[in-house]
Structure 1
Amino acid sequence: MKIVITGGAGFIGGNLAGALAAQPQITQIRVIDNLSTGHKANLAGLDVDFFEGDIQDAALVDQVIRGADAVVHLAALPSVPRSLRDPLASHHANATGTLQVLDSARRAGGLHVIAASSPSVYGANPHLPKHESLAPAPMSPYAVTKLATEAYLSAYHHSFDLPVLPFRFFNVYGPGQRADHAYAAVIPKWISATLAGQPVTVFGDGTQTRDFTYVGTVCRILIDALLHRIVEPRPVNLAFGTRTSLLDLIPEIQAATGRPARREHRVPRAGDVSHSQADSARLRGLFPEVTPVPIREGVDATVDWFHSAVVKRASN
């Protein structure tokens, strides 16, 4: 199988490329990334064909996709705060970019397209756990772009018989997730701060809850979906119904790092949802054999990666 990963130089993309490289059924991995948020270092040592460029470039996307069997569409401008600062940039990258990938896949003969969406589409809907039949209530431009992503996948499936699978990724974390940028996720940001002896920043009172999902689990599901050509036009929560508050996350980070984590509270951020927990029934129906990595094990592995990254930087 020949697989294309859009946004493949990012955190999830790099982990997925590494996991795909270990699969004997995968004969070629192509990556397209404009490196706006990704890094070539995430692909170091991997046998991949790398194309630097933007998914809104139709000619480039057609070139990369031609002759492939499937596309894992991860390219996006992430972050709710980023979308509040520049809504149009998020729309162009996430909504228009997805449309371009889908149309290239259609023109190439109907490739299998697996795409990343987000639980942010649930937004202000207070129901827990979040099941896919809930009415979306997006609270940010970013959430709207991800809802558009899902809608375009469904439309291309029903209009052009394109085989698709939209996943709602819930707070993915793990090795390779960087903390050195303004929109870093909470787990790498807090690990980095704790290792540096700096306080962890908590927006609000810290009782917000998240369904953290380890990147290795995400990759196993994506590979299973590719190898077995799983098709489902409806969105699928990719999480397992855990509910960890930010305050509960701090002891996990302290245990993994062996260092105290001091809290510094700030006002809540606009567009953030208070609670996020997945109903995993649809996911488990499609992937009944997948077992998630527990939060303690995942945080330990992430801290180990941070230590190795520090050692690597020191030796260069």
Structure 2
Amino acid sequence: MKVLVTGATGFIGGEYVKHLCAAHPEVQVFFGGRDAERGNQLAVATGAHFYRGDLTDGTYASGVCKQIDAVVHCAGLTGVWGDYERYYRANVLTVEKLLSAATATGVRRFVNIGTPGIYFDLNDHLNVTEDFLPPRFADNYVRTKYQAETRVLRAHSEQLKTLSLRPRFVIGPGDVSLFPRLIRLHRNGQLKQLGEGRNIVSMTCLPNLMQALDCAVFGSDDVTGDVYNIADPEPVNFWQTINQLMQVMSLPAIKRKVPYPAAYAVSACLEAWHRLIRSRDEPTLMRIKTAVLAHSFTLNVEKAQRQLGYQPLDNMTQTIEDFVRWYKNSPHPDKR
């Protein structure tokens, strides 16, 4: 079997390449990305084949899909600031080019990494199922990721079986987003608890996501043609979990608090100012990021357990320890 992983110079794609090479030696692994240095390092470390290029280039997309059995699409642009066209090109156009190439070259399965951010409307939501959609999307990132998902499901056929996974707050070794940013803010004295700290959230430990991806790639055809929430078996208290991280990092607990309404108001003002001056730089505080840190948001993963065969384990403590070990021994730019 030959598997192509796109966006593998990023966190999830890169970790899945490592997982495939270690856990499925019978699989030939190919991967794409635009970061030549990281791609070459991953190729040397795993023995997988690296193809550098841009998925908006149809010729490149066709080339990397040749003789491939399954595509795991992890590439895309994340973030909450920026114009629609930029996100559309990175998240929708790439999917369209890749699906067209996969169909033309005879790829049999297409696994897409989506986002449960499409559900979030800056309010509390508990036990969210896959059929929920808010009245409007919170930002251009989730809007274009949902558009990409619709393309993936529309492409599902007898020849090309497709499905999408929506993992929430993926954490583990290799994460350069959530945990590193919070550690950096805490070390700089800028991290404060928003609200009363009672918000519970779904998170996804990296081993559970790797298991879900295996279910999607190697499962029967019955698992395809659908979308699945992916998260750990039980939600956690967000701020208690962050303090657990800080304790393992040998950093003090987060004790300072800011009322959520005050933080939200400051965020709104900063956003308005950046739009007024047409700044391309992201504001230091934004309403959606503030809301994410202060609200409860949990996913229902029963469909993934029932149909996909997903059986997540409670790996939070071990995953935090693994992350800290990796973080302290990596040349991460935020580490000091």
Q: Distance in 2 between matches of 1:213 and 1:56?
A: 29
Instruction: Label 1:78 to 1:36 Cα distance change in 2 as closer, same or farther (>3 A).
Output: farther
2:3 corresponds to: 3
Q: 2:100 aligns with which of 78, 99, 103?
A: 103
2:155 corresponds to: 156
CA contact (8 A) 2:164 2:226 kept: yes
Query: Secondary structure of the equivalent of 1:296?
Result: helix
Query: Secondary structure of the equivalent of 1:85?
Result: coil
1:250 corresponds to: 242
Matched, 1:284 2:305: yes
CA contact (8 A) 2:5 2:30 kept: yes
Q: Distance in 2 between matches of 1:129 and 1:174?
A: 23
CA contact (8 A) 1:72 1:114 kept: yes
Write the deviation string for residues 106-152 of structure 1: whole angstroms up to 9, x where unpaired.
11124300001101111227542110122344211111111112111
CA contact (8 A) 1:200 1:264 kept: no
CA contact (8 A) 1:208 1:275 kept: yes
1:188 corresponds to: 180
Based on CA coordinates, which of the two structures has the bigger radius of gyration?
2
Using the TM superposition, name which of 268-277 and 93-102 deviates more: 268-277
Instruction: Label 1:261 to 1:127 Cα distance change in 2 as closer, same or farther (>3 A).
Output: closer
Relative to the length of structure 1, the TM-score reads 0.84
Using the TM superposition, name which of 136-145 and 114-123 deviates more: 136-145
Q: 1:94 aligns with which of 91, 94, 105?
A: 91
Q: Distance in 2 between matches of 1:215 and 1:27?
A: 21
CA contact (8 A) 2:39 2:50 kept: no
1:223 corresponds to: 214
CA contact (8 A) 1:33 1:54 kept: yes
Instruction: Label 1:289 to 1:31 Cα distance change in 2 as closer, same or farther (>3 A).
Output: closer
Q: Distance in 1 between matches of 2:185 and 2:50?
A: 33
CA contact (8 A) 1:172 1:215 kept: yes
Q: 1:232 aligns with which of 214, 218, 224?
A: 224
Q: Distance in 2 between matches of 1:264 and 1:45?
A: 43
Relative to the length of structure 2, the TM-score reads 0.80
Q: Distance in 1 between matches of 2:126 and 2:31?
A: 36
Write the deviation string for residues 34-67 of structure 1: whole angstroms up to 9, x where unpaired.
2399765455511111111111111111111100
Instruction: Label 1:287 to 1:9 Cα distance change in 2 as closer, same or farther (>3 A).
Output: same
CA contact (8 A) 2:67 2:105 kept: yes
CA contact (8 A) 2:67 2:107 kept: no
Using the TM superposition, name which of 168-177 and 42-51 deviates more: 42-51
Instruction: Label 1:27 to 1:297 Cα distance change in 2 as closer, same or farther (>3 A).
Output: closer
Q: 1:134 aligns with which of 128, 132, 135?
A: 132
Structure 1 unaligned regions, length at least 5:
179-183
Using the TM superposition, name which of 146-155 and 219-228 deviates more: 219-228
Matched, 1:270 2:287: yes
2:22 corresponds to: 22
Q: 1:198 aligns with which of 167, 188, 207?
A: 188
RMSD across aligned positions (CA): 2.9
Q: Distance in 1 between matches of 2:171 and 2:288?
A: 21
Amino acid of the structure 2 residue aligned with 1:56? T
* Aligned-residue identity in percent: 22
Amino acid of the structure 1 residue aligned with 2:74? L
Query: Secondary structure of the equivalent of 1:22?
Result: helix
2:251 corresponds to: 259
CA-CA distance at 1:207 after TM superposition: 5.1
Instruction: Label 1:200 to 1:303 Cα distance change in 2 as closer, same or farther (>3 A).
Output: farther
Query: Secondary structure of the equivalent of 1:51?
Result: strand
